[in-house]
Structures are given as C-alpha cells and as structure tokens.
Structure 1
Amino acid sequence: MIEAAMIWNEPNNKSHWDPELDPDWSRFAETAIAAGRAIREAHPTLPRVLGGMSPIDPAFIRNMQAKGVLDQVDAVAVHGFPLDWNLWPIHDWPAKLAEIRAVTDKPLWVSEVGVSSFGAEEVQEWGLARTAALLKGRAERIHWYSLHDLPRSWGATTRHKEAEGSSYYRHFYMGLVREDGGRKPAFAEFARHTPDLGLCQWFHFEDHRLAQSVALMKELGVTYLRTGLSWADYYRPDALAWFDRQMEALRDFRVTVTFCFTPEHKGPGRHHTSPPDDPAEFGGFCAEMVRRYA
C-alpha cells in the first residue's frame, strides 16, 4: 500500500520541530538517520524521502548532508505556499527548485503546494492553474495541499508570528472542497491536471471524511497521495485499528506515508514538535508501519 516513506514533516519549521530544544538540528539528524536505517532494514527498496522543507532553504540541506542524513534518504522534498505564507512570488517556483538542486543530486519532490481560497475562490483557481504550469515536469512528485478545508472546530496551531508568514487563518481554506462539502472552482481545475498532480491530505484520528475522500479522489483521477501516520497517535486506544482502516481505504492509490509527531511522553518538550528522547524508538515505529503496510 505504501509507495514511499517520508521522514518527518517540515523539520526546519518551528511549528513542527522545536528549534529551542535542537537549535542546530543535531537531534533531528539522529532521529532521521535512525528512521532511515530502520525503514531500509524493514524494506530493502522502499524509497525514503526527507520531510518537506518549509521554508525552502539550501542551507538546511547542506546541514543535513554534513550530519549524514542524506546518506539515509533517497529523495528530498520541499513545501511552498507563495500566495499565502511564503515571502516570495509564485513565479519563483523554478528558481526555488534550482536552489535545492544546486546543493544535492537527490531526486526532488514538491510534497506540499497549495493556495487558499481565503481572499477569493477565483484566486485559488488561478493559483492552481499557474502552479501546475510552473511545476509539472520539474519535480518527480507534486502533491497539492489539500482536498478538504480544515474544519473550523479542529483548530490549527503555529509558533510563528504573522509577520513571519504564519497567517494561519488561511489554513482553514486550503481545500478543493469546503467544510460543508461544496466544491470550489479549483476542484474542476485540479481534475484537468491529474494524474500529473497528486494530493496531500492529512487524516485526523478516526477522521469522518475518509470514505468521502476516497470517492472524491477517484472522481478527480488522482493516482498518488501523501498522508501521515502519527507516532503520537500510535499510543491512542485502538490506534492500529484506525491505521489499518485508513490504509485499507487508500489501497487503490500510490501512497507516500509521512511518519512524524513525537508522543508527549517520549520527548523533553512534552509536545509533538519535541525531539524524541530515544531516536531508535521513532525508528522502530517507522519500521513497524513499513512492515505492516509495505
């Protein structure tokens, strides 16, 4: 069921990895190396992808190279949201990819790219078409974020100030489908770009949208998908039953699974962004999931 395994999500973004606990990413490097080795031991050929950078930063890749992380992954990934959060214009996409290719010869994925409909749904529709024109043929995978708007009741957290590009009120409007199930104009536009474009859709624990998502993705012609299995969720009651249900529902797609989020009791920060106390435990989780689903 798994096409590839992604190690963490946005490790250079302080909303996903705590830089106060790991200012030079040494502990992240230990964690990523442990995961990469464990995944390889569990599956000899499954591609391993370094979690998408946000912001896109060649210095981060050079740091990971120096710390040995790139020896344990087969591809690197970037995330970009120039119409919402990033402080660069949408037409800079080719230049941003070139910045990363200048510092590594690893295959390059765009594992999240999106445009919110916060200002206007027509802006999202235009942004999707322009993004597709700029990225198709320039990256091995292009995952549009996302299928669904984030329900307002779920909340979204950030450690960033708005001046740093957080604007997280926009996070609730990134979907092709509104919270009430209505389709935005970008829904039809996206269908014009499949199967070249895939989706990134995170499913919350026991997400009620799972079956609907599968039907919508098949209608859109989606063939590949990025989602996540949370190490923190692994410690919830009936976690494996939910993981099984999620992965079974997605079996008709080529799935990249992102492994991330530290359980509160497994890291010094007592938060999902904390480095784990023992990187080998995270590696063990990754290996178990790979054996179970790949």
Structure 2
Amino acid sequence: MTSTAAKSATGEFGFVEWFRPGEFERTERLLPDILKSGASYLRTHLSWAEYLAPGGEEWFDWLIPKLGEEIDLLPCLHYTPPSLSRTGRSNGAPVVLKDYADFVDHVLTRYGRHFRHVELWNEPNNLLDWDWREDADFNLFCEMVGGAAYWAKQRGWKPVLGGPCPFDPMWLDLMGERGVLSVVDAVGFHGFPGTWDSEEGSWGGWDMHLGEMRSILNRHNPDAQIWITETGYSTWRNDEMEQARRFMKALQVPADRLYWYSFADVPPNVAVQEGLWFDPRHYHLGMVTHENQPKLLARLLMEGGIERLQDVARLASPNLASGAAPIVITGGSGFIGSNLAESFLADGEDVIVLDNLARAGVDQNLEWLKQHHGAKVHPVLADVRDLRGIEAAFADAKAVFHLAAQTAVTTSLVSPLDDFEANARGTINVLEAVRKAGRKAPVIFASTNKVYGALEDLEMLPMDDRYVPADAGVREFGIGEDRPLSFCTPYGCSKGVADQYVLDYAKSFDIPTAVLRMSCIYGPRQFGTEDQGWVAHFLIQALKGEGVSIYGDGRQVRDILHVDDAVGAYRAVHAAIGRVKGEVFNLGGGPQNCVSILAVLREIEKLTGRPLETGFGEWRAGDQLFFVADTRKLADRLGWQARMRWRSGLQHLADWLRTHRFTDESSALRDLRVRA
C-alpha cells in the first residue's frame, strides 16, 4: 500500500489552470503569482483537438516549455479532434483508437523534457468529456487509454488516469479488471464538497471516498498513488473564508498530490461548458478574480504561505456562550471597527467581529483584539454579501454597528457591480438578518459625506493653500444634514442607497436605526492607502521615506477627525437610540479641525523633520473642493464634540505608527524618535 503522508507532511499543493489558445498575456500574468503562492505543481490541458486546429502547434510549442521550465507540470491530454472522432465531437472516441496513443507518443517526443507525468484524459465517466453513450461498457476507452498508458510507461514517463467525476467506485474497479490500473502510476480523483448540488447527496467525505479508492487500487495496483487532480470551492456567494477553510481541509486528506481548481476565475464572457453557461459557480472557483484581484486565500498564501493561512484560520472561533447578547460590528477588524470593538470590550461586552478580512493587514487588528480581550471577542469571518453566511451572527445581537463596506471611490469606478454588491446589497443583507432575528436590535450605519455629491454649487474662493466657501454660514459651521442628497460616483450611489435603506427600516419595520455620514477619520490601527485613509497613508509614506501622490492641487479642505472621537460619536448614538431612531448625523472634525491637504503635508514634514516628496495628478471624479461637517446636531442632541485637535492627533498617530508598525531604523524614524 502506497504511503499518502508526503503531501500532508510538506503542505505541498498545486493548481489546475486551463490556458486557452492565444492567452499569452494571461499566462505571463498568472504564472508569477502561481509561483508566488507557493504552488509546487501545475495541471493544465493539452487538447488533442486544439493541437490539430489552426495555430495549435505554435500555441503549445510556446505554452508547454513556458510552464514546464518554471513548475512541475502535469499536462492532461484529452479531447478528440472532431474530424477523427466517431461522433464528430471532441468527447467521442477516435475512429482509430491507436491514434490517441500516437498523439501521446508525439507529445512525449516533442515536449516530454518539460514534465515527468502525463495525464490521460479528463473525467472519462462524465458525458461532457467522454461520450459513454457510444461506449456504454467503456471498452473503447480502456483500449485507447490502456494502450497509451502502456506506451508512455515504456518510454519512461509516469501515466496518470484521469479522475472520474462524480466519483464512481464501480467504474474505477472496472478500470482495474480491464487492466488499465496496472499500467498507471497514479489515479486522479475529483471532488468539490460544498459547491455542486449534484455532489451534495452522494458526498460521503474525503476519508470514505479515498478509502474506497485505496481499497480498489490495492486489489489491482498497490503501488499506484492517489492524486486529487481537481478539488475546489466556488466563492459565488462571496464566502471567501470558506474557500480558505476548504483548501486547508483538502491539504490534510490522505492523497499523494493535491491540485486546487483553480488559480483564476473564468472571465464572464467565456462559456465554461455547453449547458453550464448560466451557473455562476463555474465562474468563481479561482482564488483570484478574472481581473487578477486576489481573494482571501490567494492573498494569505502570497503573504506567507500555508503558515500564514493557518494563523488567520485560527482566528475564526466564535465560541459564544448560550444566552449571550453580543454587540455585532461588521467590518470589525477594520480601522474604525476594531477601535469601536476595543471600546466595548474594555467595558466587558461580548463583541462579534464580523469581517471578511479582505483588506490586507486587518487580521492584525483582530489578532490584537483577541490577545487583549480573549474569550470576549467572537470572530465571524464572513462577508456581508453572503446573507446565508451571516444570518446566525445576528440572531442574539443586542446592537449592530454596520461598518463593512467597499470604501474607495476609485475602486467603485473600476468595478461598479462589486461596489454595489458590497455596499448596497451588503447593507440590506445586514438589515434583513436583524429583521429576521426579531429582536429589533439597533442598527447604526457608517455612511459618508459623498452622499452630498461634489458640492459643485458652492462657490469657492481659492486661497494660498486651501479653498474657502464664499457662503459665510458654510464657512463658519460646515455642511449640515439638511443639505440635499446628490449621489455622485458609483461609491456615492451605493453608500447613498444603503444610507436610505437604513433610515427606511426605522419607518417600515420599526427597527431603531441611525446613520452617521462621516468625513475623514484617521488614527491608530488604520491601513491607509492613496484611495482611502489618506491621512494615515501620507504619514506612513513619510515614515518609510517614500513620496505621495496628490490628486488635484492639494488645496482641498477636509475636517479630519481622530478615531477616538469617532468612537465616542458612535457610542453616543447607540446610548440614545431611543431618542434618535431614524435620524442622520454628520460626523467629522468640524471647523476647528478644518485643514487642507497641503497643510497636513506641511505638518507631517515637521513631525518627520524632512521634506516629503509629492507628485500631482488629475482630479478624481466626485472630489469635493471643500467638506467640513456641521456637527452642531450631534452636539445639541447628544452632547458630543471633537476633543482631539488635528495637530495633536497627527502626533498621536505618528507615535503609534513608530511603536507598532515600523521596526526598521530608517532615517525618517530615527529623526522622529529624536524629535519625540
């Protein structure tokens, strides 16, 4: 009996990735990331039909050496050229069965130096890949593949029998009785637990199915290995953490190799298989999107391999005691969410931190919360777009703070549908989960000043380093909640839709809700980028000794607010929800923290003691020349006010970054330490 401990002990894995003829750019783009993920193997198809089609030889002459020089390659040789097929289709047996063995022989001669194993056909008991209606007893298949396997073995290569799908032990035993198993070195297995409805009823678990497989192989070829040549999990419901969990589970199964299907999603304009065009699951099996954006699994593997993935997976342990009434914070591992969670945890509250960990680095915030507050922190690693996956988190909630969102205007312009799904659908999913729970838990929503649009009707007076409103009232107090809504950019639209749904659920369903339309929040635990969280981003860049890009002329004005004050506002609204149900509040630093981008840059240069290299680009869509929140309603109704002035807040953030984010002894940090 062959050993199956090698894969589990080493954590080795591979990917399945079908490269279609002509996909030169896609291959060049994906291969470095496949290698960066830590993959040891790659399985791809070498279609007999495509090889004989116009341009086929040239394509595979480029593809196979390209892949084989970089990674342990498993080519899957399948699909009959229609002109040679008994049925006129690529899933039919060839008229002359030996032609397939001759093709295998040709491939070994032409490309064999680039691989050690060769897979003979794909999913042979699946009608889409092999027309068993014309070969009901599989005599044609056995003669075709058995002869090809024998010849490949004689030439020094190791043949792999394509995996049946769905798994059929009787079919596999037939392959043994017909002598096919005796001439192969490994047998493939395909299984996608949790993804396909057709598999759900018959799936008995990895141990059962692979145990059946091992028993059959022991009778016919005890030395043959078991390879999982296809397994995966579709994120069509946006449950990326579940994909990561399934991947980790697959690493532990008793098989000699694992190939995960697949590395990249299929583009939506590509037909996967005839008759399956409209099944979304086929298009979301990758660990990166078709636009090459990493999902959680890809990001973690590329950040630190299996160990990194295991560390994050260990965070996902809700362990909520029966009868507890937790506070739920969506986006609770994010910047504002983690600070808000810490505030409630410090008061002894149970907090469910619901987060998909999509933003790089936020798992560090979750780890910090767990280290400091232990069993009071209940992580639920799920996505608000996945209603089925989040409902249980709200069942006993006594309050909900909904902060999870797609947060960048730039991203919304690139992917408006994704932006809508996260912000609009994600919000109504949260509201529906609360409504279904039946406890009427308060829902306090993080909205944005972008719901007021670009404010183009406000006349601005350009000063040396800032824009100032000509209107004296706006200049003195800022923008009030009575400002008409004017959604601008997909981000403004999706957040605005969510904003209005939250307010309406107070009217339509009597759920106590409130909305905070935020300006620029900054502070500790923020992973700022140039697209979102610009104050922290500028300071981080300065501490690294790197430059920043300014969109526009830098005279844009914002009222920046320290996160401690933002947390105070959220808690004040929560405490008074009975009085402010269905109301909206503008939240920002107010006129006392009104500052231009150029002024912030100057202050950062003072903090670091060195000039900050800056570049200027085109204005971004929907960018407001001026936004200062009129916070008098918060002050009058709830007694809230911003306590941290912006210069002190920047110093506080710089000190925190120096202590918690940077460990190197760069000159910028040395200067900061001296000044501190």
Q: Give the 3 Å change call, closer, same or farther, for CA 78–159 of structure 1 in structure 2.
A: farther
Aligned-residue Cα RMSD (Å) equals 2.3
Q: Greater Rg, structure 1 or structure 2?
A: 2
1:88-126, Cα deviation, whole Å (9 max, x unpaired): 588811111001111113211111110011012233223
Distance in 1, matches of 2:299 and 2:203, equals 21
- Per the alignment, in what secondary structure is the counterpart of residue 13 of structure 1? coil
Partner amino acid for 1:170? R
Residue 169 of structure 1 is matched in structure 2 by 280
- Per the alignment, in what secondary structure is the counterpart of residue 143 of structure 1? strand
- Per the alignment, in what secondary structure is the counterpart of residue 111 of structure 1? strand
Residue 294 of structure 2 is matched in structure 1 by 183
Of Structure 1 and Structure 2, which has the larger fraction of its residues in helix? Answer: 2
Partner amino acid for 1:113? T
Residue 130 of structure 1 is matched in structure 2 by 249
1:136-178, Cα deviation, whole Å (9 max, x unpaired): xx11110111111011112111568xxxxx9843111011110
Query: Structure 2 residue aligned with 1:155, among 246, 255, 271?
Result: 271
Distance in 1, matches of 2:294 and 2:237, equals 16
Distance in 1, matches of 2:273 and 2:285, equals 15
Q: How does 1:96-107 map to 2 (within 5 A)?
A: 96-105=209-218, 106-107=224-225
Distance in 1, matches of 2:170 and 2:202, equals 20
Contact 2:194 2:233 in 1 (8 A): yes
- Per the alignment, in what secondary structure is the counterpart of residue 193 of structure 1? helix
- Per the alignment, in what secondary structure is the counterpart of residue 260 of structure 2? strand
Distance in 2, matches of 1:22 and 1:186, equals 41
- Per the alignment, in what secondary structure is the counterpart of residue 102 of structure 1? helix
1:35-64, Cα deviation, whole Å (9 max, x unpaired): 1123124x22x2111001211121111111
Distance in 2, matches of 1:167 and 1:73, equals 37
- Per the alignment, in what secondary structure is the counterpart of residue 12 of structure 1? coil
Partner amino acid for 1:117? T
Residue 163 of structure 1 is matched in structure 2 by none
Partner amino acid for 1:157? Q
Distance in 1, matches of 2:127 and 2:300, equals 33
Distance in 1, matches of 2:192 and 2:138, equals 24
1:228-266, Cα deviation, whole Å (9 max, x unpaired): xxxxxxxxxxxxxxxxxxxxxxxxxxxxxxxxxxxxxxx
Say whether residues 1:4 and 2:123 are aligned partners: no
Q: Give the 3 Å change call, closer, same or farther, for CA 158–103 of structure 1 in structure 2.
A: farther
Contact 1:125 1:189 in 2 (8 A): no
Q: Pick which of 116-125 and 177-186 moved more.
A: 116-125
- Per the alignment, in what secondary structure is the counterpart of residue 48 of structure 1? strand
TM-score (norm 1): 0.58
Q: How does 1:71-110 map to 2 (within 5 A)?
A: 71-85=182-196, 86-87=199-200, 92-105=205-218, 106-110=224-228
Residue 524 of structure 2 is matched in structure 1 by none
Q: How does 1:176-215 map to 2 (within 5 A)?
A: 176-191=287-302, 192-193=305-306
TM-score (norm 2): 0.26
Gaps of 5+ in 2: 1-113, 219-223, 308-676
Distance in 2, matches of 1:131 and 1:190, equals 15
Partner amino acid for 1:152? P
Q: Give the 3 Å change call, closer, same or farther, for CA 75–130 of structure 1 in structure 2.
A: closer
Distance in 1, matches of 2:141 and 2:201, equals 27
Partner amino acid for 2:234? S
Query: Structure 2 residue aligned with 1:34, among 131, 147, 156?
Result: 147
Partner amino acid for 1:147? F
Partner amino acid for 2:269? S
Distance in 2, matches of 1:63 and 1:55, equals 15
Distance in 2, matches of 1:19 and 1:113, equals 23
Shift, 1:189, TM fit: 4.1
Q: Give the 3 Å change call, closer, same or farther, for CA 63–126 of structure 1 in structure 2.
A: same
Residue 4 of structure 2 is matched in structure 1 by none
Say whether residues 1:144 and 2:260 are aligned partners: yes
Residue 17 of structure 1 is matched in structure 2 by 130
- Per the alignment, in what secondary structure is the counterpart of residue 109 of structure 1? strand
- Per the alignment, in what secondary structure is the counterpart of residue 236 of structure 2? coil
- Per the alignment, in what secondary structure is the counterpart of residue 230 of structure 2? strand
Distance in 1, matches of 2:166 and 2:246, equals 19
Contact 2:152 2:158 in 1 (8 A): no
Gaps of 5+ in 1: 161-165, 195-294
1:184-234, Cα deviation, whole Å (9 max, x unpaired): 00113445339xxxxxxxxxxxxxxxxxxxxxxxxxxxxxxxxxxxxxxxx
RCO comparison, higher one (Cα < 8 Å, 6+): 1
Q: Which runs of at least 4 in structure 1 moved beyond 6 Å after TM superposition?
A: none
